[in-house]
Structure 1
Amino acid sequence: MYDRDSYETARGPLIITPIHHATLVLEWNGETILCDPVGGAQRFAPFAAPTLIMLTHHHGDHLDLETLEAVLGDETVVIAPQTVFDQLPPAIAARTRTLANGDETEHNGIQIRAVAMYNTTPERQKYHEKGVGNGYLFDFAGTRVYLASDTEPTPEMEALGAVDIAFFPMNLPFTMTPDQVVEAIGKVQPRYAYPFHYRFPYDAIGTEPEALVAAMPEDSQTRIVARDWYGPV
């Protein structure tokens, strides 16, 4: 039903599963991590109960309280920015750690840093203001994954250090053009880059991954991983 990609790490495979739009699942070393779970619990039926849920910001295509409540397991920990925490029911808030841009935490051997995500183009700054939401940088025993969330190229990307796998949004007016994603890839220099968050509305053709492939420099060392984020589920 879903594309699943496997990457070797020092402590076993990291399995990445694109789910829909901005939602994905990371599985590693007994951990199941849901990133911005939306769209109903049935999307996550193939997976074990999450040990960790990452929430990036408060927009409806990233925060779905009904789905969040449905997928929580008995031991699930939630990580979120303050703007999301403020909207959570008390039972979920009680198990949530808040991170501001630049904060770091650790979860069962996974190092996590919150990274600023925001629009830089003046007419788009109303969509995502600096300091409101988080992208996240994960370290899985030396394999580092950057979930950019809704952003344009930012100076913070240049301070991430080595990144193996990155997820970049690519739709206007909310996030980036293909040329901006190329710029972001130049700042981050991941080994693999996934374009996601590239349609709105979901049933309309948007800035498809092929546009990014065509825009990439021929000498780039980054491999574009084009997956279908809008197939039936």
Structure 2
Amino acid sequence: MLLTKFTHACVRLEKDGKVLVFDPGTFSETDRALAGADAVLITHEHADHIDVEAVTAALLASATLQLFAPAGVAAQLREKAPEAASRVHPVEPGDEFGTAGFAVRSFGGQHALIHPQIPVVANIGYLVDGNVYHPGDSFIVPDGVDVRTLLVPIHGPWSKVGEVIDFVIGVRARKAYPIHDALLNESGSGLVEGHVSRFGAKYGTEYLHLSTGDAVEV
């Protein structure tokens, strides 16, 4: 399976001629990420994880594109694109489903706390093919599974470095790659990734940097 990183939290998976995309948000190259996509997984409603206009356009431009998202996001997209409503699916924690040849399990339920006065929204983490785990904006460790490839939210207004490290230690994936890094400059990302790489290695996780556009086999 080929994994390609786009800016921030957007990641594209390709397998057997099929394409699955995580979180094509407003910080990302949505046109490139969504080109030829067969399925889209949305973790939560924040704009850096879903560019509503771009995703709506993609749904209307394709007769087969399937989209999975928390219920509130799914309802919004069904309203904006009623023609595609049957291809927009609400997801709850603990769901298991197949799409475009990929097997998906969902975890979590809510976004990490930013501040007590900022409402907490629904957030779904997705594990694809028992391999790639995208947690969205959360540090939910998927229970009862052996994650092989972890996508690590390196930085956000809801996290601190110690929590990032503990998340990597808790999941103990074989390999880990960065997401959610658009708000960091080169110095900041280097500092955080250095800590994650060093501590992750102690617990069996090889952390590798990916820049926007980089692709790896996972």
Fold-level similarity (TM above 0.5): yes
Alignment of 1:136 with 2:126, yes or no, is yes
* CA gap 1:121/1:205 in 2 versus in 1, 3 angstroms: same
3-state DSSP of counterpart to 1:87: helix
Partner residue in 1 for 2:174: 191
Contact 1:170 1:207 in 2 (8 A): no
3-state DSSP of counterpart to 1:33: strand
Contact 2:133 2:149 in 1 (8 A): yes
3-state DSSP of counterpart to 1:97: strand
3-state DSSP of counterpart to 2:202: coil
Q: Deviations over 1:40-94 (max 9, x none)?
A: 9965448751111111111111121211133343211111110101211223332
3-state DSSP of counterpart to 1:159: coil
3-state DSSP of counterpart to 2:76: coil
- Structure 1 unaligned runs (5+)? 1-13
Given candidates 44, 50, 70, the residue that maps to 1:81 is 70
Contact 2:104 2:126 in 1 (8 A): yes
Contact 1:193 1:222 in 2 (8 A): yes
Count how many residue pairs are aligned between Structure 1 and Structure 2.
207
Q: Deviations over 1:150-185 (max 9, x none)?
A: 013x4xx151411111112122422x3232122111
TM-score by length of 1: 0.76
Deviation at 1:105, TM superposition (A): 0.8
Partner residue in 1 for 2:205: 222
3-state DSSP of counterpart to 2:193: helix
Structural mapping, 1:54-73, within 5 Å: 54-72=41-59, 73=62
Contact 2:154 2:192 in 1 (8 A): no
Deviation at 1:104, TM superposition (A): 1.2
Alignment of 1:111 with 2:103, yes or no, is yes
Contact 2:111 2:123 in 1 (8 A): no
Contact 2:97 2:105 in 1 (8 A): yes
- Structure 2 unaligned runs (5+)? none
Deviation at 1:214, TM superposition (A): 2.7
Partner residue in 1 for 2:12: 25
Counterpart residue identity of residue 133, structure 1? N
Identity of aligned residues (%): 24
Query: For the residues of structure 1 that align with 2:134 and 2:96, how far apart are their CA atoms?
Result: 15
3-state DSSP of counterpart to 2:6: strand
Deviation at 1:136, TM superposition (A): 0.4
Q: Deviations over 1:16-46 (max 9, x none)?
A: 1111111111101121111112349965448
Contact 1:79 1:97 in 2 (8 A): yes
3-state DSSP of counterpart to 2:138: coil
TM-score by length of 2: 0.81
Partner residue in 2 for 1:6: none
Partner residue in 1 for 2:152: 168
Partner residue in 2 for 1:95: 87
Query: For the residues of structure 1 that align with 2:192 and 2:167, how far apart are their CA atoms?
Result: 15
Deviation at 1:213, TM superposition (A): 2.4
3-state DSSP of counterpart to 2:40: strand
Alpha-carbon RMSD across the aligned residues, in angstroms, is: 2.9
